[in-house]
Amino acid sequence: MPPKRTSKDSEAQQLDKERPISDSLTEESADKCHNLKKIMPNLNRLQFSACPNVTDLRAIAHSCQNLEYLDVFECCQVSELGIYSDSNIKYLDISTCNFIPESIINETIHFSPKLQHLDLGFCNIFNSIIKKIARSCPNLKFLGLEWCKNISKKAIGYLNRNIHIEDYDSERSESDSEWSDEEYGLEKGTVISLLFKGD
């Protein structure tokens, strides 16, 4: 039986139906939407899916201080994540976000020491990012590097040997995006999530 919809779900769904997900809508959601504004500080999980009009997540990131899961897969225009202070992020998927500058990825990694899952597939990164991961992410378990062609074997050698590194050329499967709450240290029933879907 599907979970019962709450007013928060209805409001988020209504936002999705009224107009495409864009920067102005995410800012409005973070700033004006009454129910969302109340849950933002407790939001643990945020997923955008194929939202090409979203480029800047600063407003949402600023409002969601307890965010542990951020997935912007196929939001190919994203160039700003908004993570500028120590974050609780454990899961970050920015694969296919090749407009995010290396400096922003570097800052995000620096301020995300709790990271356990990081997917950088198709991002334009270099060895310096791998070295930053090695220094800043002691808890990392998974690193996705699909089509990251500027990474040397020497740089990979800096990483902890226990990290599962995926560098594959096959299509992304549904199982690649599954995330177990228990695996990344969230207690059952504590996850508050919000999903934005593009056209």
Predicted confidence (pLDDT) per residue in 102-150, tens digit:
999 999 999 999 999 999 999 999 999 999 999 999 999 999 999 988 8
Residue 173 lies in a domain: no
Q: Is residue 12 part of a domain?
A: yes
Residue 40 has pLDDT above 60, yes or no: yes
Range(s) of the domain holding residue 164: 7-168+191-197
In three-state secondary structure terms, 165 is strand
| Total domains, the chain | 1
- For the entire predicted model, the pTM comes to 0.73
Instruction: List Cα–Cα distances, 133 to 35, 125, 144, 145, 194, in angstroms.
Output: 36, 12, 12, 12, 27
Assess contact for 44 and 184: CB atoms under 8 A. Answer: no
Instruction: Report residue 193's pLDDT band, with 50, 70 and 90 as the boundaries.
Output: low
pLDDT for 177 beyond 70: no
Please tell me the predicted confidence (pLDDT) of residue 52: 86
95 assigned to some structural domain: yes
| CA–CA separation, 46 and 191 (whole Å) | 10
In a domain, 174, yes or no: no
- Predicted confidence at residue 53, as pLDDT, reads 87
Cβ-contact 76, 53 below 8 angstroms: no
Instruction: Considering only residues 35 and 33, tell me which one the structure prediction assigns the higher pLDDT.
Output: 35
Residue 1 lies in a domain: no
In a domain, 38, yes or no: yes
Half-sphere exposure (Cβ direction) of 80: Cα atoms closer than 13 Å:
14
Mean pLDDT computed over every residue of the chain: 77
In a domain, 105, yes or no: yes
Q: What is the CATH number of the domain that holds 121?
A: 3.80.10.10
Whether 57 is in a domain gets the answer yes
pLDDT bin (cut points 50, 70, 90) of residue 48 is confident
Residue 87: predicted pLDDT: 93
First to last CA, the chain: 26
pLDDT of residue 196: 66
